[in-house]
Structure formats: C-alpha cells, structure tokens
C-alpha cells in the first residue's frame, strides 16, 4: 500500500501540492485525473523520490520511503515520466534492457532476457528491436519507454500520461495490458490520464486532483459523474451510457 500523509510541495511561494492525504490500494488500477497544472506529475515524482517533499511523509508497504534503499526501491516501484528525452545512440532492445539494471547491474541473465523479450512482445516492438531510438516515431518511442518500465517488473508501477502519442490500437492495448498486469500478476498501477473515457472503462479507482489538492477520490463510478467532472474541469460534461458503459461527452 502507498500512503501519503500531509504531503506538500512548494515552488517559490506557489504550493503545487498541498496537504495531500491519500491511500492507494494494492492490486488496483488507479487513475489520477485533473486539469493541467493540478500537481499530478509532482505527486508522482515525490512518490518515486525524484523530488523531495517539503512536508509530510510517504509510506510504501508501511515503511517510510526515506528508509528504503534506493536499489530495493527500484525493484519495488517504477515510474514512467511524462516527458522523456535524451540524445543517445541506442537501440530499442538496449533501452529496454536498462529496465533490468536493478537486478543484474548490467550483466544480463537468462531471466533478464526473458523479461525483456516479454516486455518487447507486449508492446509490439519485436520488429523494432534493433532500431536506433532516434529514428522512432513519437508513439513507438513511448512504447519503448513503457516496455522499459514493464521489464523493471516492479510491484508498483507509476505511469505519467503513458498514452501520449499513441494511436488508438496501442492506447487500447496498453490499457488492456495494464488491466492484465493488475488482475493476473497482482501489480498495483497508478496512471495519470487525461482521456476520461479510458479512465472510466479501465480504472478501478479514480483520484481527481485540482489546484494541488485532492478534489475527490473514490471508485470509478463515483467520480465519473456529470456534476463532479463538470466542476473539476469547469466545463459542462455530459455522460451517456452506450452498451452499458459510461461515456463522457465534452464537445460542444
């Protein structure tokens, strides 16, 4: 379980995450939604120790995050950042192999190769394994990064807008993969996502953030609600049921 108590982060005088108290249940797919600048990425970065919090504490499996050894943590929790980029001459396969670093420290074993291949398969990267990542399209690159995180094979997986740049086929495929990981492999996945319909169809629980605070959190059907969403995004949002599934309509 991930538990946040009174978690705050300030940049200058601006409090971008303020006094967040939250429990994230294990073995669930939790979606974090909310307007741009709500503090979603900042929250994830604090949970994965990329940035430090100003106040408050984070507990992972009842143990304060500060007391976790960095290398143990890397086998327990992984993060895909919202924007990734570096200039490096490296192939897709080599990039994904870095996901095994916490285990093998660069000397890959049979198990490591298996995990890497599995991740490459899931993301449909088999034909691209030897491509230089600088030659990939935006969506292909995003899939390679997701594969890296999958290869890391952690209990907790935090994904910051993983559907960026993906076409519909891969959007659906990745959400299905995430469901599979939660259901069959017992992973806990927290995903920041802007597409409400994906959140509505695939998430078990939703956390809505606004202005650095938890606006509302609960089961998916509690949050996918006309009143809640309209207030969260400050635009009218209608919800229609199509073959038993809720769909949010926000075009005028």
Partner 1 sequence: MKKLIHSFPLKVIALLILVIVSCILFLTYQTYGNWDFALSLRSSKLLAFILVGIATSFATITFQTLTHNQFLTPNILGLDSLYTLVQTTVFFFFNGKQLLGSESVATFLLTIAIMVIFSVLLANFLLHKGQNNLFLLLMVGIILATLLNSITTFLQVAMNPNEFDALQTKLFASFNNINSQYLPIAAIIILILVIFLWFKSLTLDVLHLGDDQATNLGINIPPLQFSLLVVISSLIGVSTALVGPITFLGFIVANISYHFIGTYHHRQLFIGGSLIAIFLLIFGEFMVEQVFKLNTPLSSVIEFTGGIYFIGKIIYERKNG
Q: Which is nearer to ligand ATP, 2 or 33 (CB)?
A: 33
DSSP-derived 3-state class of residue 49: coil
**By rule CB under 8 A, what count of residues binds partner 1?**
27
Distance between CA atoms of 158 and 229, rounded to whole angstroms? Answer: 23
Q: Which of 18, 30, 42, 152 binds ligand ATP (CB under 6 A)?
A: 42
Applying CB under 6 A, the span of 36-44, 111-119, 129-137, 242-250 interacting with ligand ATP comes to: 36-44
Residue 8 lies near Mg ion (rule: CB under 5 A): no
Residue 40 lies near ligand ATP (rule: CB under 6 A): yes
Q: At 47, give phi and psi (nearest 5°).
A: -65, -35
Residue 49 lies near partner 1 (rule: CB under 8 A): yes
Residue 16 lies near ligand ATP (rule: CB under 6 A): yes
Residue 41 lies near Mg ion (rule: CB under 5 A): yes
Contact in structure between 2 and 23 (CB atoms under 8 Å): yes
Task: Classify residue 37 by burial, with Cβ atoms within 10 Å: 0-12, 13-18, 19+.
Answer: middle
Within 59-98, the residues that bind Mg ion by CB under 5 A are 82
Q: Give me the least distance between CB of 49 and partner 1, in Å please.
A: 7
Q: What is the DSSP string of 68-86?
A: S-HHHHTTTEEEE-SS---
Q: Which residues contact 21 (CB under 8 A, 6 or more apart)?
A: 4, 5, 6, 7, 214
- CB atoms near residue 247 (< 10 Å): 15
Residue 129 lies near ligand ATP (rule: CB under 6 A): no
Residue 106 lies near partner 1 (rule: CB under 8 A): yes
DSSP-derived 3-state class of residue 184: helix
**By rule CB under 6 A, what count of residues binds ligand ATP?**
11
Chain residues binding partner 1 by CB under 8 A are 48-50, 70-75, 78-79, 81, 84-86, 88-90, 95, 98-99, 101-102, 105-107, 152
**Which residues bind to Mg ion, rule: CB under 5 A?**
41, 82
């Amino acid at each position: 379980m991930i538990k946040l108590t009174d978690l705050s982060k300030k940049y200058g005088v601006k409090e971008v995450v303020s006094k967040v108290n939250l429990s994230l249940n294990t073995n669930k797919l939790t979606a974090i939604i909310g307007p741009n600048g709500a503090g979603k990425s900042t929250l994830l970065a604090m949970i994965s120790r990329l940035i430090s919090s100003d106040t408050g504490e984070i507990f992972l499996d009842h143990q304060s995050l500060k007391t976790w050894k960095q290398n143990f943590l890397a086998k327990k929790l992984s993060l895909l950042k919202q924007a990734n980029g570096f200039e490096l001459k490296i192939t897709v396969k080599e990039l994904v192999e870095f996901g095994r670093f916490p285990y093998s420290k660069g000397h890959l074993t049979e198990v490591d190769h298996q995990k890497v291949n599995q991740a490459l398969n899931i993301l449909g990267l088999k034909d691209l394994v030897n491509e230089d990542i600088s030659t990939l399209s935006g969506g292909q690159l995003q899939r390679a990064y997701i594969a890296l995180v999958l290869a890391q094979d952690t209990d907790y997986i935090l994904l910051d807008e993983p559907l960026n740049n993906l076409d519909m086929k891969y959007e659906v495929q990745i959400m299905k993969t995430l469901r599979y990981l939660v259901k069959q492999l017992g992973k806990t996945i927290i995903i920041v996502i802007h597409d409400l319909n994906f959140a509505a169809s695939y998430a078990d629980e939703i956390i809505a953030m606004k202005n650095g605070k938890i606006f509302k959190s609960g089961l998916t059907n509690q949050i996918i609600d006309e009143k809640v969403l309209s207030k969260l995004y400050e635009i009218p949002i209608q919800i229609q049921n199509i073959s038993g599934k809720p769909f949010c309509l926000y075009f005028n």
